[in-house]
Amino acid sequence: MGTQVAAMAKLFTPLVNSSVGPATHVVTTTPNTNGTKHFSGSTDPIVADEWRSRLVRNFSSTRCPEDYKRDIAVHFMEGDAHYWWLAVDKRTNGSVQNAWDRLEGRFLDLTQGSRAIREYEEEFNRLRRFFGRELEDETVQVRRFIRGLRQELRIHCSIHTFSTVRELVERVALLESNLAEEAKLKTKSPSVLT
């Protein structure tokens, strides 16, 4: 298959270049030669994100024109992933940006809720990875993480400055454990604490 694609690229490159003008660079190698595998879907979002990241790196290294990226990405989807894409494309009338914006909104509005701190941290890190937010300034991430904490935890965190999300999580995990232990003691013997 690789030789067929290369042969097709040799055939169509002059044709495409002549139809869009000499300034357009046409990809003459396929992302598959750069290690991109076909993606058939996964329940693990990290697997999907790793595939997407690999595709983005390949587009960058081959200087793939913006107009071709979507079609090439769809080409590398198969099975459930391809059917998912067809449904998303149909549902959004070709505007996937709306779905992406909703997912980013989910990250920006993320709160701990009833989750344990480690579960909240896991979801926070998973979602921020999707949007390249892991490259964002650490102090911004710390503020965003604190904003999503439950109120009883957030109050305790506002009196201390944290330099990393990791440091914050460790402190909050200890605090959460202490608060749970205190609550347990209150329910066992209310007269001891008063």
Q: Measured between alpha carbons, how far is 185 from 194 in angstroms, rounded to an integer?
A: 11
CA 132 to CA 161: how far, in whole Å? 24
Instruction: Catalogue the E-assigned strands of 8-152.
Output: none
* Element spanning 121, H or E: helix 117-130
Please, what is the average pLDDT of the chain?
76
Share of the chain above pLDDT 70, in %: 71
Residue 68 or residue 96, greater confidence: 68
pLDDT of residue 190: 60
**Model pTM score:** 0.52
What is residue 17's predicted lDDT score, i.e. its pLDDT? 41
Distance in angstroms (rounded) separating the CA atoms of residues 141 and 133: 8
pLDDT at position 168 is 95
**Distance, CA of 151 to CA of 130 (rounded, Å):** 27
Give the whole-angstrom CA distance, residue 89 versus residue 194. 62
> Mind listing the pLDDT tens digit for each residue in 51-82?
888 888 888 888 888 888 888 888 888 888 88
Q: Cα(131)–Cα(53) distance, rounded to whole angstroms?
A: 11
| Range 130-157 average pLDDT | 85
